[in-house]
Amino acid sequence: MSESENMPIKVGDAGALEVIDENIVKLCADPEIYKIIVPFENYSTSATNCYVIRDAGEVLIVDTGAPTDEACEVLVESLGKLGVDPHKASYFLTHFHLDHAGLVDRLVDRSMPLYLSYADFIHMVRARTVSYRNEVIERMGKENIADSHEEYTMRFGVGLDSFDEHGRNLHLMEEGDVIKVGTLELQVMLTAGHTPGHLSLYEPKSRSLFCGDHILFVISPGLALRPDFDNTLDTYISNLRRVQELAPVRLLYSHGRLRGDWNERIEWLIKHHLDRVEEAQGIIERAPGMFGKQIIQTIKWNVPYDNWEDIPVMQRWCILEEGIVFLDYLVNRGSIIREEDESGLYRYYASH
């Protein structure tokens, strides 16, 4: 599922033109594209890859990194080495997780364009409401998940905003929109799955796709659970196939060293998820009537812990989210049946 999270510079990025220092790699000369490694220790990664696109004196920065002093210092210093004033650049967010949008309030001037997902923005606003939290708590309750819902709903912009949008020069982007940087016209792609409105950005001249957390090598991207949407896995797989059809020369993702074998990685990710789905179905067939949480805990997740309680709460939430996404997929396919028992909890049975 994952590879060693060595510093990308030491391992080497596929297609790199020049290693400027331990945090900056030049990837393309025309147009100018740079990768900046912004540190952030998480349970699965140690840094966020942010990108700089420069043409005809204009600059677009893709993602900002996490809201820590170290991350801010590294990003500002790296931009300075490239001759970029962070307060005079435009920014594009692939999604709103804290390790991507966490430095917006520190760095992004409120007058400068901030390009972000319309769908994720609406989701962020809705996630602040009591009604949304109650929907999440209700769904978790029906799966017999009685852990600390407040902790779970505070995950990565669900109940905890990554930035303050008020008074900003926001540009809410959707599939097919275009962002101009100098003479360049970058194309916005909706690559939902990891988040409801996850965006990627395609630069046709260099055939570079900035894909955020849509495709990763260091970890399998988590899939977002939405109480009002039960087709996440199908959507994610479809959007992986779209990248294959686009066939970019460079796939510029947000964590880990850059590799050229992304097509094989896509096939691996699809198989990985479908194998997990098949595993869940097998569990249900062998032990019909289980609660959702029981099924999810029985799946063999790639975590270095023997006990469920030892798994960090954020990682536990990701597992629960993804497990429910798999159950929704099986129910929608007619492979299993979901029934509500007399206490209002969901139980799962094979459909044959």
Token pair of 154, please?
């505070």
Calculate mean pLDDT across residues 345-351.
97
- Helix orientation angle between 262-286 and 313-333, rounded to the nearest 10 degrees: 80
Which has more confidence, 263 or 124?
Answer: 263
For residue 223, the model assigns a pLDDT of 94
Sign of the Cα torsion 24, 95, 319, 130 reads positive
Write down the pTM of the prediction.
0.92
Find out whether 251 and 215 touch, Cβ atoms under 8 Å.
Answer: yes
> Does the pLDDT of residue 11 top 70, yes or no?
no
> Does the pLDDT of residue 148 top 80, yes or no?
no
User: Which region among 86-100, 181-195, 208-222, 305-319 has the lowest average model confidence (pLDDT)?
Assistant: 305-319
| Secondary structure (3-state) at 242 | helix
For residue 228, the model assigns a pLDDT of 84
Sign of the Cα torsion 78, 181, 114, 95 reads negative
> Does the pLDDT of residue 352 top 70, yes or no?
yes
> Does the pLDDT of residue 156 top 80, yes or no?
no
Calculate mean pLDDT across residues 331-346.
97
Could you read off the pLDDT of 84-107 as tens digits, one per residue?
999 999 999 999 999 999 999 999
> Does the pLDDT of residue 201 top 70, yes or no?
yes
Calculate mean pLDDT across residues 5-23.
71
Find out whether 284 and 290 touch, Cβ atoms under 8 Å.
Answer: yes
In this structure, the number of other CB atoms found within 10 A of the CB of residue 50 comes to 26
Parse the chain into domains and list their residue ranges: 8-278
33 vs 341: CA distance, rounded Å: 56
> Does the pLDDT of residue 2 top 50, yes or no?
no
What lies within 8 Å, CB to CB, of 56 at 6+ separation is: 182, 183
CATH 3.60.15.10 is the classification of domain 8-278: yes
| Secondary structure (3-state) at 156 | helix
Which has more confidence, 129 or 268?
Answer: 268
pLDDT band at 147 (very low <50, low <70, confident <90, very high): low
> Does the pLDDT of residue 43 top 70, yes or no?
no
User: Which region among 142-146, 198-202, 347-351 has the lowest average model confidence (pLDDT)?
Assistant: 142-146
For residue 9, the model assigns a pLDDT of 41
For residue 136, the model assigns a pLDDT of 86
Count each helix (H run) and each strand (E run) in the chain, helices first.
Answer: 11, 16
